[in-house]
Structure 1
Amino acid sequence: MSRLLPLALLGALVALPLALGANPYLLNALIVTGIVTIGAMSLNLLLGFTGQLSLGHIAFFGIGAYVSALTSLGFDVEIGFGLRVVHEPWPAAVGFVLATLAAGACGYLIGRLSFRVRGAYFVIVTISFAEVVRLVALNWVELTQGPLALTNIPAITLGLPGIGAWTLKTKLQNYYLVLAIGTLCYLVIARLVGSRFGRAMRGLKENESLALSVGINATRTLTVAAVVSAAMAGAAGSLYAHYLRIIDPDVFAFTTTVSMVIMVVAGGKGTLMGPVIGGLIFGLLPVALRPVMAPEAQWIVYGVVLILILFVMPRGIVPGVSALLARRRPVRAVPVLEASPVVQR
């Protein structure tokens, strides 16, 4: 059942635009929800499988967005001492790759600096890093345009030699691109978690002292997890920039990190499907409530739904439903073998 659920959900998402009739409003909601869900999946790799809470995860998302946008737009900036850096525009697909690599490199830096400490110290480091990056994006006007925003970001173009190129400008094309990248991220996380490295991550989460005693290198394991997590968040940020085609420092808003945490915790942290289910519910819930409620009432309902889910299923939706199905599953009777009679001689 657990193996069929991802395939069934993937099939439903592939066919969903056909059922919606390519409705642009709903497709836009699905695309943005999918991008944030990819960010939640990347956060779950840290929060769910290693137990490390990153409240600055939006920094990697924003770094990916700005690196990809600047790569595809080009820039001419003075870095001091009379030195200028001039970059000609590159294809948006190259920007996507560089955004993923740049975010992963920043994840490595933060991991090496902060995973020597744990708990509240790591949370403070991640929040501080996110705020520093936001201030750089806001004040380095010559490079990022500051509050004026980077505009006219080109759409991603895909193509193969001899076949042709496709510029993904329509919402339907971007929907399937986000779905493809999200599926790839899911497969990478599933492969990583199911490997020996994944067992090391879970061991550190459950009992770090015992994990260290059997030879697991905690700093290296957590740093690799941070790199993969940050790279996926950067990829999501790149998709966001090339879809909206405009970004400003608001991309570093703390509320986006909070939304990712809610998706992970409500869906079920430490599970593969948890962030996906939580992302779909809490990403699309405001869209469903918008036509029938005032904005203030929407947030009240949003909070009430979250509280009810965590009250009824404290471990999240996916673990809660799995436990419910396991209790209802009939228990097979185990046959009892009768003892052979002892032959008297």
Structure 2
Amino acid sequence: MTRFIAPLFLVVFALVPLGLKDPYLLNALIITGILTICAMSLNLLLGFTGQLSLGHVAFFGIGAYVSALTALGFDVSLPFGLRVTHEGGSPLMGFVLAVGLTGLCGYLIGRLSFRVRGAYFVIVTISFAEVVRLVALNWVELTQGPLALTAIPNMVLPVPGLGDVALRSKMQNYYLVLAVAAVSYLIIARLVASRFGRAMRGLKENESLALSLGINATRTLTVAATISAAMAGAAGSLYAHYIRIIDPDVFLFSYTVTMVIMVVSGGKGTLAGPLVGGILFGLLPVALRPVMAPEAQWIVYGAILIAILFLMPRGIVPALESLALRRRPAAAEAKIPAKNAEAGANP
């Protein structure tokens, strides 16, 4: 059943802007889509390898800053009298560099921390995120610190017959985010279905048995961390070129909490889980904002999350799968007496 969720989401959300006239709601969908990409990338670690990263927002922020600085340019002085100057370039090149550099950061963090996993990995990721936030806050010459990087150019894509097209409208950015989300989903789906994906799940379920079968735990987890970080960096790049202003608040821990909530509520270790959780908890604040005060919104937000975790401990998608499996045998058993009755009536 769940294999139809992603194509259904793609079709539905591809049609949404055609009938949506409210720019506020379209903006909410764009931000929700960006956070959902981050949730999918985190699910690759948390859901399929069992490794919790509480510093995942670091890769999101690095991607945003790398892409923005690549497009804006910079002029910074380094130790030993060195100076680095960049005049600014294509936002698309910034996107590529954001994916590459965040993937490299994920690789380095993985190599350092996966030799001692568990709580040590969690501590390393939190520390890394805090260090990166402090660098962004205090390296004013490069990042403008709390003053923020402003006037970040829109994403520019080459279109055959039209040349380079700047994506200025909300609808253009919406479809760009939807396309990146679809590609990210396909990459994760192919990865999970491969031999490498079986190795990831083996390490999550029974690491000792996986090691006895010859699976290299450090290498497998490091590759997963690299891909996960690269996807988070891609989301950060999209965010920077859409919002067009970023500051060190992009590294706030609340973003990581939001990603974890999306993964856990939707169903970690499932492909559709981050999509369902991302849409639910991305749009829930938007739905609550017109009808209640901010304080009440957080109460309802928390109450819904607690209810989901109590009633569906494994998440929404696994709960729906279990419900569908329970109904199939019941339907099959109901058909057997009917067939026997027909056979008795027609000897």
Matched, 1:189 2:182: no
Which secondary structure does the structure 2 equivalent of 1:246 belong to?
coil
CA contact (8 A) 2:154 2:167 kept: yes
Percentage identity across paired residues of the two chains: 75
Aligned pairs for 1:72-151 within 5 A: 72-151=71-150
Letter in 2 for 1:5: I
Q: Which residue of 1 aligns with 2:203?
A: 204
Alignment of 1:201-280 (within 5 A): 201-280=200-279
The residue type equivalent to 1:49 in the other structure is F
**CA displacement at 1:159 relative to structure 2:** 1.2
Pair 1:19-2:19 in alignment: yes
Higher helix proportion: 2
SS at match of 2:78: strand
Match of 1:179 in 2: 178
Stretches of 4+ aligned residues off by more than 6 angstroms: none
Structure 1: segments with no counterpart, 5+ residues:
336-345
Unaligned runs of 5+ in 2: 337-347
Give how far 1:255 is off. Answer: 0.3
Q: What amino acid sits opposite 1:97 in the alignment?
A: V
Question: TM-score, normalization: structure 1?
Answer: 0.95
The alignment status of 1:8 with 2:12, answered yes or no, reads no
Alpha-carbon deviation of 1:162? Answer: 4.5
Distance 1:305 1:4 in 2: 26
CA distance in 2, matches of 1:200, 1:19: 44
Letter matched to residue 106 of structure 2: G
Structure-1 separation of matches of 2:304 and 2:161: 52
Correspondence list, 1:62-81, <5 A: 62-81=61-80
Residue pair 2:159, 2:165 contacting (<8 A) in 1 also: no
CA-CA distance at 1:325 after TM superposition: 1.2
CA contact under 8 A between 2:114 and 2:218: conserved in structure 1? Answer: yes
1:157 maps to what in 2? 156
1:27: how far off? 0.5
RMSD over aligned CA atoms reads: 1.2
The answer to whether structure 1 residue 33 and structure 2 residue 20 are counterparts is no
Q: CA deviation at 1:4?
A: 2.1
Alpha-carbon distance, 1:70 to partner: 0.3
TM-score w.r.t. the length of structure 2 is 0.94
Task: Give 2:52's aligned residue.
Answer: 53
Instruction: Determine the C-alpha separation between the residues in 1 that align with 2:93 and 2:250.
Output: 21
Aligned partner of residue 158 in structure 1, secondary structure: strand
Aligned residues: 334
Quote the Cα distance in structure 2 between the aligned partners of 1:251 and 1:18.
31
Q: Distance in 2 between matches of 1:148 and 1:88?
A: 20
